[in-house]
Amino acid sequence: MLRTASYLALLSSLAATTGHAEDNWSGAYVGAFIGGALPDLQTNLLPFNSSGPDVNCNTDVSSCYSALNDFNNVSGISGIRLGYDREINDRWVIGGYGELANVSLSNVTYYTGSDGEITNSERSELRVNSMVSIRGRLGLDLGDTLAFASAGVSFVDADFATSTSDTDPRMGIASLSKAAPSIGIGVEHMVAENIAIGAAINHVILNYDPQIGGIGDFDTESRIEFKNLTTFDLSLNFRF
C-alpha cells in the first residue's frame, strides 16, 4: 500500500510539471486494436477401467494422472472498443469502455495414451474464439499522454476438445466459456487532434477446473486447469 501511494505521488508530481490542455481526455472515443493472447492452461489424463477409476488411483487420484500438457502458445487478437472518459481537476481521468475481441487461438497438443505412447490420434485442443469485456478505468493526465489502470469483467468464449480418432480430431468437446474478472494497465498518447495511439495489457483471471470423461470408447478422463488468459494490444483511437 505504501509503495502504491509512493507511485501515485510520483506520477502526480510528474503531471504537475507537464503542460497540457484543459480537459485533454474528456469525451467519447472509438478505437481498433491488434495484438496477442497468451493462455495459461494445463491438462492431463486419468486412466479408467470398466468399473471406474483404476484401483491404484482410489487413494490418491491426482497421482494417477499422466504427464502434464501445457497450452501456452501466443495467438493473434484483434477487435474494437468504445468508451467514455471524464477528466477531473485537470489531472485524474475516470471512465469505462466496452470491447469486442476476435481471438484466433487454437493450441493443440498430443498426449501420452494408456499404452504409454504418443500418437497423432490421442490429442487435445484448446480454442478461444472471442472475448467481450466491460471495464472501468482510472487514469492520470500527463499532458499528451494518459497512463491508466483498468478493472472489469470479461466473457471468454472457449472450448476444449479431446479425441482418439484420426478422422475426427474434435470428437469430444467441452465448453470452457466463462465470465471472469479482468485487470489491466495501459497508456495512450495523442499524436494529432482527436487521434491517440495506445498500448495495453489485460489479465483475465479464469481459475477454471472442469473435467471431461467418457470420450467415445476412450476410457479416460481429462482434467483441465484453465487458469488465466493474458492479452496485449496496440490501438488506434479516435476521440470525439
Handedness of CA 190, 99, 227, 149 (dihedral sign): positive
The reported pLDDT for the residue numbered 68 is: 57
Inside any domain, residue 154: no
What is the model's pLDDT at position 42? 76
Q: Do residues 194 and 218 make contact, with C-beta atoms less than 8 angstroms apart?
A: no
pLDDT score at 106: 79
Q: Classify residue 173: in a domain, yes or no.
A: yes
Residues 113 and 122: their CA atoms lie apart, in Å, by 7
Instruction: Map residue 167 onto helix, strand or coil.
Output: coil
* pTM, entire model: 0.74
Contact 43, 70 (CB under 8 A): no
pLDDT given at position 54: 47
State the pLDDT at residue 166: 62
Reading the block at residue 53, the C-alpha cell is: 477409476
Q: How far apart are CA 142 and CA 145, in angstroms?
A: 5
Residue 95 neighbours by CB distance under 10 Å: 22
The verdict on residue 233 lying in a domain is yes
- Report which of 131, 209, 224, 136 is spatially closest to residue 172, judged by C-alpha positions: 224
> How many structural domains are present in the chain?
1
In the numeric block, which cell numbers belong to residue 208?
Answer: 477454471
Place of cell 503542460: 19
Tens-place pLDDT, residues 198-226: 999 999 999 887 766 544 444 455 667 78
The answer to whether residue 125 sits within a structural domain is yes
Residue type at position 74: V
Residue 199: its pLDDT value, please? 98
Q: Kindly state the cell numbers that stand for 181.
A: 474478472
* 20 in any annotated domain: no
Element (H, E) at 98: strand 92-112
User: What range defines the domain where residue 225 resides?
Assistant: 27-92+113-145+163-178+209-240
- Asked if the structure places residue 63 within a domain, the reply is yes
Residue 99 lies inside a defined structural domain of this protein: no
Contact of 211 with 27, CB cutoff 8 Å: no
Low-confidence ranges of the chain (pLDDT < 70): 1-23, 44-70, 111-122, 164-172, 211-223
Would you state the pLDDT for residue 171? 66
CA distance 137 to 96: 6
The Cα–Cα gap between 39 and 28 comes to 31
- pLDDT digits 0-9 by tens, 50-89: 444 444 554 454 555 554 566 777 889 999 999 999 999 8
Residue 2 lies inside a defined structural domain of this protein: no
